[in-house]
Structure 1
Protein backbone atom coordinates (compact mmCIF):
# COMPACT_ATOMS: atom_id res chain seq x y z
CA UNK A 1 0.00 0.00 0.00
CA UNK A 2 1.35 3.41 -0.96
CA UNK A 3 1.92 5.84 1.86
CA UNK A 4 0.58 9.40 1.56
CA UNK A 5 3.16 12.07 0.86
CA UNK A 6 4.41 13.70 4.07
CA UNK A 7 3.21 17.16 4.99
CA UNK A 8 5.62 19.93 5.81
CA UNK A 9 5.28 21.00 9.47
CA UNK A 10 3.71 24.37 8.77
CA UNK A 11 2.03 26.27 11.60
CA UNK A 12 -1.40 25.57 10.11
CA UNK A 13 -0.67 21.85 9.94
CA UNK A 14 0.80 21.47 13.42
CA UNK A 15 -2.03 23.58 14.86
CA UNK A 16 -4.53 21.24 13.22
CA UNK A 17 -2.68 18.20 14.59
CA UNK A 18 -2.55 19.78 18.06
CA UNK A 19 -6.28 20.48 17.95
CA UNK A 20 -7.00 16.91 16.83
CA UNK A 21 -4.82 15.30 19.51
CA UNK A 22 -6.21 17.61 22.19
CA UNK A 23 -9.83 16.92 21.30
CA UNK A 24 -9.11 13.18 21.09
CA UNK A 25 -7.01 12.66 24.22
CA UNK A 26 -7.59 15.55 26.62
CA UNK A 27 -10.85 16.05 28.48
CA UNK A 28 -11.27 19.67 29.49
CA UNK A 29 -13.76 20.85 32.07
CA UNK A 30 -15.10 24.22 33.16
CA UNK A 31 -12.42 24.70 35.83
CA UNK A 32 -9.52 24.15 33.45
CA UNK A 33 -11.10 26.36 30.80
CA UNK A 34 -11.78 29.09 33.37
CA UNK A 35 -8.16 29.02 34.53
CA UNK A 36 -7.05 29.73 30.95
CA UNK A 37 -9.70 32.42 30.44
CA UNK A 38 -8.64 34.12 33.67
CA UNK A 39 -5.28 35.03 32.16
CA UNK A 40 -6.92 37.24 29.54
CA UNK A 41 -9.47 38.62 31.97
CA UNK A 42 -6.77 39.57 34.49
CA UNK A 43 -4.27 40.93 31.98
CA UNK A 44 -1.76 38.15 32.69
CA UNK A 45 0.61 36.68 30.10
CA UNK A 46 -0.98 33.77 28.26
CA UNK A 47 1.98 31.44 28.69
CA UNK A 48 0.37 28.48 30.45
CA UNK A 49 1.29 25.01 29.21
CA UNK A 50 -0.75 23.51 26.40
CA UNK A 51 -3.54 21.04 27.25
CA UNK A 52 -1.46 18.15 25.92
CA UNK A 53 1.47 19.16 28.12
CA UNK A 54 -0.85 19.60 31.09
CA UNK A 55 -2.11 16.05 30.60
CA UNK A 56 1.49 14.84 30.18
CA UNK A 57 2.45 16.40 33.53
CA UNK A 58 -0.59 14.75 35.10
CA UNK A 59 0.35 11.33 33.75
CA UNK A 60 4.04 11.67 34.62
CA UNK A 61 3.14 12.55 38.21
CA UNK A 62 0.87 9.51 38.38
CA UNK A 63 3.52 7.26 36.80
CA UNK A 64 6.00 8.50 39.40
CA UNK A 65 3.55 7.67 42.18
CA UNK A 66 3.97 11.23 43.40
CA UNK A 67 2.57 12.26 46.77
CA UNK A 68 4.47 15.53 47.05
CA UNK A 69 4.85 17.86 44.06
CA UNK A 70 6.85 21.07 43.80
CA UNK A 71 5.97 23.57 41.08
CA UNK A 72 8.12 26.63 40.43
CA UNK A 73 5.98 29.18 38.55
CA UNK A 74 2.22 29.07 39.20
CA UNK A 75 0.80 31.77 36.89
CA UNK A 76 -2.97 31.07 36.83
CA UNK A 77 -2.66 27.52 38.21
CA UNK A 78 -3.58 25.69 34.99
CA UNK A 79 -0.67 23.24 35.32
CA UNK A 80 -1.15 23.23 39.09
CA UNK A 81 -4.69 21.88 38.67
CA UNK A 82 -3.45 19.10 36.40
CA UNK A 83 -0.78 18.16 38.95
CA UNK A 84 -3.11 18.34 41.95
CA UNK A 85 -5.58 16.04 40.22
CA UNK A 86 -2.80 13.46 39.80
CA UNK A 87 -2.28 13.07 43.55
CA UNK A 88 -3.69 10.36 45.79
CA UNK A 89 -5.54 11.17 49.01
CA UNK A 90 -3.23 13.10 51.30
CA UNK A 91 -1.04 14.31 48.42
CA UNK A 92 0.23 17.87 48.32
CA UNK A 93 1.39 20.41 45.75
CA UNK A 94 3.60 23.30 46.83
CA UNK A 95 3.65 25.92 44.09
CA UNK A 96 5.76 29.09 44.08
CA UNK A 97 4.61 32.34 42.45
CA UNK A 98 6.58 35.59 42.49
CA UNK A 99 3.71 37.93 41.56
CA UNK A 100 1.03 38.52 44.24
CA UNK A 101 -1.64 39.25 41.63
CA UNK A 102 -0.93 35.98 39.85
CA UNK A 103 -1.03 34.12 43.16
CA UNK A 104 -4.45 35.60 43.98
CA UNK A 105 -5.83 34.56 40.58
CA UNK A 106 -4.31 31.10 41.01
CA UNK A 107 -5.97 30.64 44.39
CA UNK A 108 -9.38 31.48 42.91
CA UNK A 109 -8.82 29.02 40.08
CA UNK A 110 -7.75 26.30 42.51
CA UNK A 111 -10.89 26.87 44.59
CA UNK A 112 -13.05 26.66 41.47
CA UNK A 113 -11.37 23.40 40.49
CA UNK A 114 -11.96 21.90 43.94
CA UNK A 115 -8.27 21.22 44.64
CA UNK A 116 -7.34 24.16 46.89
CA UNK A 117 -7.20 21.83 49.91
CA UNK A 118 -4.25 19.95 48.40
CA UNK A 119 -2.30 22.95 47.08
CA UNK A 120 -0.19 25.47 48.98
CA UNK A 121 0.61 28.64 47.03
CA UNK A 122 3.82 30.22 48.32
CA UNK A 123 4.32 33.84 47.26
CA UNK A 124 7.82 35.13 46.57
CA UNK A 125 10.79 34.63 44.29
CA UNK A 126 12.00 31.09 43.99
CA UNK A 127 15.45 31.96 45.27
CA UNK A 128 13.85 33.18 48.51
CA UNK A 129 11.11 30.56 48.94
CA UNK A 130 13.01 27.40 48.02
CA UNK A 131 15.42 27.53 50.99
CA UNK A 132 12.41 27.62 53.34
CA UNK A 133 11.42 24.14 52.09
CA UNK A 134 14.64 22.55 53.34
CA UNK A 135 14.07 19.91 55.97
CA UNK A 136 10.60 18.98 54.72
CA UNK A 137 9.65 15.61 53.31
CA UNK A 138 11.27 15.12 49.87
CA UNK A 139 9.32 15.97 46.75
CA UNK A 140 8.54 13.17 44.32
CA UNK A 141 7.93 15.39 41.29
CA UNK A 142 9.20 18.88 40.39
CA UNK A 143 7.93 21.08 37.56
CA UNK A 144 10.08 24.11 36.66
CA UNK A 145 8.31 26.79 34.62
CA UNK A 146 9.50 30.18 35.83
CA UNK A 147 12.17 32.71 34.75
CA UNK A 148 14.62 30.87 32.53
CA UNK A 149 17.61 32.86 33.77
CA UNK A 150 17.31 30.95 37.07
CA UNK A 151 17.01 27.42 35.66
CA UNK A 152 20.29 26.25 37.18
CA UNK A 153 19.27 27.56 40.61
CA UNK A 154 15.90 25.83 40.34
CA UNK A 155 17.49 22.57 39.22
CA UNK A 156 19.92 22.67 42.13
CA UNK A 157 17.04 23.10 44.56
CA UNK A 158 15.06 20.36 42.81
CA UNK A 159 17.97 18.01 43.51
CA UNK A 160 18.30 19.18 47.11
CA UNK A 161 14.58 18.90 47.83
CA UNK A 162 14.02 15.65 45.96
CA UNK A 163 15.26 12.09 46.40
CA UNK A 164 16.61 9.35 44.14
CA UNK A 165 13.76 8.61 41.75
CA UNK A 166 12.24 12.12 41.82
CA UNK A 167 11.07 13.23 38.37
CA UNK A 168 12.01 16.76 37.28
CA UNK A 169 10.40 18.47 34.26
CA UNK A 170 11.70 21.74 32.83
CA UNK A 171 9.46 23.67 30.44
CA UNK A 172 10.32 25.96 27.50
CA UNK A 173 13.71 24.55 26.57
CA UNK A 174 13.59 25.07 22.77
CA UNK A 175 12.27 28.64 22.55
CA UNK A 176 11.35 28.54 18.85
CA UNK A 177 14.75 27.07 18.03
CA UNK A 178 16.78 29.83 19.70
CA UNK A 179 18.28 27.28 22.13
CA UNK A 180 20.99 26.49 19.55
CA UNK A 181 22.17 30.12 19.57
CA UNK A 182 24.89 31.37 21.91
CA UNK A 183 24.06 35.08 21.69
CA UNK A 184 20.25 35.14 21.94
CA UNK A 185 19.93 36.84 25.33
CA UNK A 186 19.70 36.03 29.02
CA UNK A 187 16.68 33.72 28.79
CA UNK A 188 18.34 31.49 26.19
CA UNK A 189 21.58 31.56 28.15
CA UNK A 190 19.60 30.35 31.17
CA UNK A 191 17.96 27.56 29.20
CA UNK A 192 21.31 26.40 27.80
CA UNK A 193 22.94 26.54 31.23
CA UNK A 194 20.13 24.41 32.64
CA UNK A 195 20.49 21.81 29.90
CA UNK A 196 24.25 21.72 30.36
CA UNK A 197 23.68 21.22 34.08
CA UNK A 198 21.36 18.29 33.37
CA UNK A 199 24.10 16.77 31.22
CA UNK A 200 27.03 17.37 33.55
CA UNK A 201 25.60 17.19 37.07
CA UNK A 202 25.78 13.58 38.34
CA UNK A 203 22.56 14.07 40.31
CA UNK A 204 20.53 14.01 37.06
CA UNK A 205 19.84 11.65 34.18
CA UNK A 206 17.89 13.55 31.52
CA UNK A 207 16.49 13.73 28.02
CA UNK A 208 14.43 16.28 26.08
CA UNK A 209 11.55 16.46 23.63
CA UNK A 210 10.72 19.11 21.05
CA UNK A 211 7.05 20.08 20.88
CA UNK A 212 4.85 21.72 18.26
CA UNK A 213 1.46 22.78 19.57
CA UNK A 214 -0.75 25.79 20.13
CA UNK A 215 2.13 27.38 22.06
CA UNK A 216 4.39 27.13 19.00
CA UNK A 217 7.77 25.43 18.72
CA UNK A 218 9.21 24.57 22.11
CA UNK A 219 10.06 21.57 24.26
CA UNK A 220 10.55 20.04 27.68
CA UNK A 221 13.41 18.35 29.48
CA UNK A 222 12.62 15.34 31.67
CA UNK A 223 15.12 14.23 34.30
CA UNK A 224 15.39 11.61 36.99
CA UNK A 225 17.28 12.22 40.20
CA UNK A 226 19.81 9.42 40.68
Structure 2
Protein backbone atom coordinates (compact mmCIF):
# COMPACT_ATOMS: atom_id res chain seq x y z
CA UNK A 1 0.00 0.00 0.00
CA UNK A 2 1.23 3.50 -0.83
CA UNK A 3 2.34 5.61 2.13
CA UNK A 4 3.64 9.07 2.92
CA UNK A 5 7.30 8.27 2.03
CA UNK A 6 6.19 6.99 -1.37
CA UNK A 7 3.89 9.97 -1.96
CA UNK A 8 6.79 12.30 -1.11
CA UNK A 9 9.19 10.43 -3.38
CA UNK A 10 6.78 10.68 -6.31
CA UNK A 11 6.24 14.38 -5.65
CA UNK A 12 10.01 14.90 -5.52
CA UNK A 13 10.31 13.18 -8.90
CA UNK A 14 7.53 15.25 -10.45
CA UNK A 15 8.93 18.46 -8.98
CA UNK A 16 12.51 17.84 -10.07
CA UNK A 17 11.37 17.06 -13.60
CA UNK A 18 8.54 19.56 -14.15
CA UNK A 19 8.68 22.25 -11.44
CA UNK A 20 12.37 22.70 -10.56
CA UNK A 21 13.37 25.11 -7.85
CA UNK A 22 15.07 28.46 -8.42
CA UNK A 23 16.74 30.88 -6.04
CA UNK A 24 13.74 33.15 -5.51
CA UNK A 25 11.45 30.25 -4.61
CA UNK A 26 14.07 28.52 -2.44
CA UNK A 27 14.86 31.77 -0.64
CA UNK A 28 11.17 32.40 -0.02
CA UNK A 29 10.91 29.07 1.77
CA UNK A 30 14.17 29.61 3.70
CA UNK A 31 13.18 33.05 4.90
CA UNK A 32 9.68 31.90 5.79
CA UNK A 33 11.14 29.11 7.92
CA UNK A 34 13.67 31.47 9.52
CA UNK A 35 10.83 33.83 10.47
CA UNK A 36 8.95 30.99 12.15
CA UNK A 37 6.13 30.76 9.64
CA UNK A 38 4.36 27.37 9.60
CA UNK A 39 5.40 25.07 6.75
CA UNK A 40 1.95 24.96 5.20
CA UNK A 41 2.84 26.49 1.83
CA UNK A 42 1.76 24.67 -1.32
CA UNK A 43 4.14 22.06 -2.70
CA UNK A 44 6.25 23.08 -5.72
CA UNK A 45 4.22 21.00 -8.18
CA UNK A 46 1.05 22.51 -6.72
CA UNK A 47 2.53 25.98 -7.22
CA UNK A 48 3.28 25.07 -10.83
CA UNK A 49 -0.33 23.90 -11.21
CA UNK A 50 -1.57 27.28 -9.99
CA UNK A 51 0.75 29.01 -12.44
CA UNK A 52 -0.50 26.87 -15.33
CA UNK A 53 -4.13 27.48 -14.37
CA UNK A 54 -3.50 31.23 -14.37
CA UNK A 55 -1.86 31.01 -17.80
CA UNK A 56 -4.63 28.79 -19.18
CA UNK A 57 -7.08 31.42 -17.94
CA UNK A 58 -5.12 34.15 -19.64
CA UNK A 59 -5.32 35.84 -16.25
CA UNK A 60 -4.41 39.49 -15.94
CA UNK A 61 -5.82 39.94 -12.44
CA UNK A 62 -5.43 37.40 -9.63
CA UNK A 63 -6.77 37.48 -6.08
CA UNK A 64 -5.12 35.31 -3.43
CA UNK A 65 -6.77 34.87 -0.04
CA UNK A 66 -4.03 33.74 2.35
CA UNK A 67 -0.47 34.85 1.59
CA UNK A 68 1.70 33.23 4.27
CA UNK A 69 5.30 33.86 3.08
CA UNK A 70 4.39 34.55 -0.52
CA UNK A 71 5.54 31.23 -2.01
CA UNK A 72 2.32 30.55 -3.92
CA UNK A 73 2.11 34.27 -4.66
CA UNK A 74 5.38 34.06 -6.57
CA UNK A 75 4.12 31.14 -8.66
CA UNK A 76 0.89 32.97 -9.50
CA UNK A 77 2.47 36.38 -10.13
CA UNK A 78 4.93 34.87 -12.59
CA UNK A 79 1.97 33.83 -14.76
CA UNK A 80 0.84 37.43 -15.23
CA UNK A 81 1.75 39.82 -18.05
CA UNK A 82 3.87 42.87 -17.27
CA UNK A 83 0.77 44.98 -16.74
CA UNK A 84 -1.00 42.28 -14.71
CA UNK A 85 -2.01 42.66 -11.07
CA UNK A 86 -2.12 40.28 -8.12
CA UNK A 87 -3.61 41.22 -4.76
CA UNK A 88 -2.92 38.87 -1.86
CA UNK A 89 -4.64 39.10 1.51
CA UNK A 90 -2.83 38.15 4.72
CA UNK A 91 -4.16 38.36 8.25
CA UNK A 92 -0.84 38.54 10.11
CA UNK A 93 1.38 41.61 9.55
CA UNK A 94 4.53 39.62 10.34
CA UNK A 95 3.68 37.11 7.61
CA UNK A 96 2.93 39.92 5.16
CA UNK A 97 6.31 41.51 5.89
CA UNK A 98 8.10 38.27 4.97
CA UNK A 99 5.97 37.88 1.85
CA UNK A 100 6.66 41.41 0.64
CA UNK A 101 10.40 40.87 1.00
CA UNK A 102 10.17 37.57 -0.87
CA UNK A 103 8.17 39.19 -3.68
CA UNK A 104 10.62 42.08 -3.94
CA UNK A 105 13.58 39.69 -4.21
CA UNK A 106 11.73 37.82 -6.97
CA UNK A 107 11.22 41.11 -8.84
CA UNK A 108 7.45 40.91 -8.46
CA UNK A 109 6.72 43.75 -6.04
CA UNK A 110 5.42 45.94 -8.89
CA UNK A 111 2.95 43.21 -9.89
CA UNK A 112 1.90 41.80 -6.53
CA UNK A 113 0.47 43.70 -3.57
CA UNK A 114 -0.02 42.21 -0.09
CA UNK A 115 -2.80 43.69 2.04
CA UNK A 116 -3.02 42.96 5.75
CA UNK A 117 -5.97 42.48 8.07
CA UNK A 118 -8.91 40.08 8.33
CA UNK A 119 -9.60 38.82 4.82
CA UNK A 120 -13.34 39.42 5.06
CA UNK A 121 -12.65 43.09 5.80
CA UNK A 122 -10.14 43.34 2.96
CA UNK A 123 -12.58 41.70 0.55
CA UNK A 124 -15.30 44.15 1.54
CA UNK A 125 -12.86 47.01 1.02
CA UNK A 126 -11.95 45.74 -2.46
CA UNK A 127 -15.63 45.58 -3.34
CA UNK A 128 -16.23 49.10 -1.99
CA UNK A 129 -13.31 50.38 -4.07
CA UNK A 130 -15.03 49.10 -7.20
CA UNK A 131 -12.00 47.03 -8.14
CA UNK A 132 -11.98 45.40 -11.56
CA UNK A 133 -13.03 41.74 -11.54
CA UNK A 134 -10.43 39.05 -11.02
CA UNK A 135 -9.75 36.30 -13.54
CA UNK A 136 -8.57 33.76 -10.96
CA UNK A 137 -9.06 33.53 -7.20
CA UNK A 138 -6.96 31.21 -5.02
CA UNK A 139 -8.43 30.58 -1.55
CA UNK A 140 -5.98 29.18 1.02
CA UNK A 141 -6.76 30.84 4.34
CA UNK A 142 -8.67 29.95 7.51
CA UNK A 143 -11.06 27.17 6.55
CA UNK A 144 -13.93 28.19 8.81
CA UNK A 145 -14.64 31.12 6.47
CA UNK A 146 -14.29 29.17 3.21
CA UNK A 147 -17.92 29.67 2.19
CA UNK A 148 -17.70 33.42 2.88
CA UNK A 149 -14.56 33.57 0.75
CA UNK A 150 -16.33 31.82 -2.12
CA UNK A 151 -19.23 34.27 -1.82
CA UNK A 152 -16.87 37.25 -1.96
CA UNK A 153 -14.97 35.67 -4.85
CA UNK A 154 -18.22 35.63 -6.79
CA UNK A 155 -18.82 39.31 -6.08
CA UNK A 156 -15.32 40.14 -7.29
CA UNK A 157 -15.43 37.94 -10.39
CA UNK A 158 -16.70 37.91 -13.96
CA UNK A 159 -18.19 35.14 -16.09
CA UNK A 160 -15.35 32.72 -16.70
CA UNK A 161 -13.43 33.48 -13.52
CA UNK A 162 -11.79 30.40 -11.98
CA UNK A 163 -11.98 29.90 -8.20
CA UNK A 164 -9.51 27.46 -6.63
CA UNK A 165 -10.21 26.32 -3.07
CA UNK A 166 -7.33 24.51 -1.37
CA UNK A 167 -7.24 21.87 1.39
CA UNK A 168 -10.73 20.45 0.88
CA UNK A 169 -9.85 16.80 1.59
CA UNK A 170 -9.07 17.38 5.27
CA UNK A 171 -7.31 13.96 5.40
CA UNK A 172 -10.63 12.32 4.55
CA UNK A 173 -12.55 14.03 7.35
CA UNK A 174 -14.57 16.08 4.87
CA UNK A 175 -17.03 13.18 4.50
CA UNK A 176 -18.05 13.45 8.18
CA UNK A 177 -21.26 15.46 8.18
CA UNK A 178 -21.35 15.31 11.99
CA UNK A 179 -17.82 16.66 12.46
CA UNK A 180 -17.38 19.41 15.04
CA UNK A 181 -14.06 20.48 13.48
CA UNK A 182 -14.56 24.10 12.31
CA UNK A 183 -12.24 23.54 9.34
CA UNK A 184 -14.24 20.52 8.18
CA UNK A 185 -17.55 22.30 8.68
CA UNK A 186 -16.32 25.40 6.84
CA UNK A 187 -15.02 23.31 3.96
CA UNK A 188 -18.26 21.34 3.66
CA UNK A 189 -20.22 24.58 3.67
CA UNK A 190 -18.09 25.93 0.83
CA UNK A 191 -18.45 22.73 -1.20
CA UNK A 192 -22.21 22.75 -0.65
CA UNK A 193 -22.28 26.36 -1.86
CA UNK A 194 -20.36 25.45 -5.01
CA UNK A 195 -22.73 22.53 -5.62
CA UNK A 196 -25.95 24.51 -5.32
CA UNK A 197 -25.05 28.00 -6.55
CA UNK A 198 -26.56 28.70 -9.99
CA UNK A 199 -23.53 30.75 -11.03
CA UNK A 200 -20.91 28.12 -10.18
CA UNK A 201 -19.87 24.92 -11.93
CA UNK A 202 -17.29 22.99 -9.95
CA UNK A 203 -15.63 19.78 -8.93
CA UNK A 204 -13.20 18.58 -6.26
CA UNK A 205 -10.20 16.26 -6.49
CA UNK A 206 -8.38 14.27 -3.81
CA UNK A 207 -4.59 14.54 -3.75
CA UNK A 208 -1.65 12.82 -2.11
CA UNK A 209 1.93 14.03 -2.05
CA UNK A 210 4.57 15.69 0.05
CA UNK A 211 1.81 17.67 1.80
CA UNK A 212 -0.01 14.47 2.77
CA UNK A 213 -3.57 13.46 1.91
CA UNK A 214 -5.79 16.36 0.91
CA UNK A 215 -7.54 17.84 -2.14
CA UNK A 216 -8.70 20.97 -3.90
CA UNK A 217 -11.87 22.26 -5.53
CA UNK A 218 -12.21 24.14 -8.80
CA UNK A 219 -15.23 26.27 -9.68
CA UNK A 220 -15.93 28.32 -12.80
CA UNK A 221 -18.18 31.36 -12.65
CA UNK A 222 -21.00 31.03 -15.18
CA UNK A 223 -22.73 33.71 -17.21
Write the distance in 2 (CA, Å) between the matches of 1:58 and 1:107: 19
Q: In structure 2, how many angstroms separate the alpha carbons of the residues matched to 1:215 and 1:38? A: 19
1:148 partnered with 2:143: yes
TM-score using structure 2 length = 0.96
Deviations 1:22-56 (A, max 9, x none): 11110210110111122220111110001111000
Superposition deviation, residue 89 in structure 1: 1.7
Paired position in structure 2 for 1:122: 115
1:190 equivalent to 2:186? Answer: yes
Query: 186, 190, 206: which one pairs with 1:210?
Result: 206
Q: Secondary structure at the match of 1:70?
A: strand
Matched, 1:102 2:98: no
Counterpart check, 1:166 vs 2:146: no
SS of the residue corresponding to residue 143 of structure 1 reads strand
SS of the residue corresponding to residue 88 of structure 1 reads coil
Larger Rg: 1
Structure 1: 5+ residue stretches without partners: 1-7
Q: Distance in 1 between matches of 2:182 and 2:134?
A: 29
Matched, 1:43 2:62: no
Q: Which moved more, 1:139-148 or 1:34-43?
A: 34-43
Between stretches 12-21 and 167-176, larger displacement belongs to: 12-21
With 42-51 and 177-186 compared, the bigger mean Cα shift is at: 177-186
User: Which runs of at least 4 in structure 1 moved beyond 2 Å after TM superposition?
Assistant: none
| Aligned residue number for residue 218 of structure 2 | 222
The answer (yes or no) to whether the contact 1:58–1:82 under 8 Å persists in 2 is yes
Q: Which runs of 5+ in 2 are unaligned?
A: none
Matches of 1:9 and 1:163, distance apart in 2 = 41
Aligned-residue CA RMSD (Å): 0.8
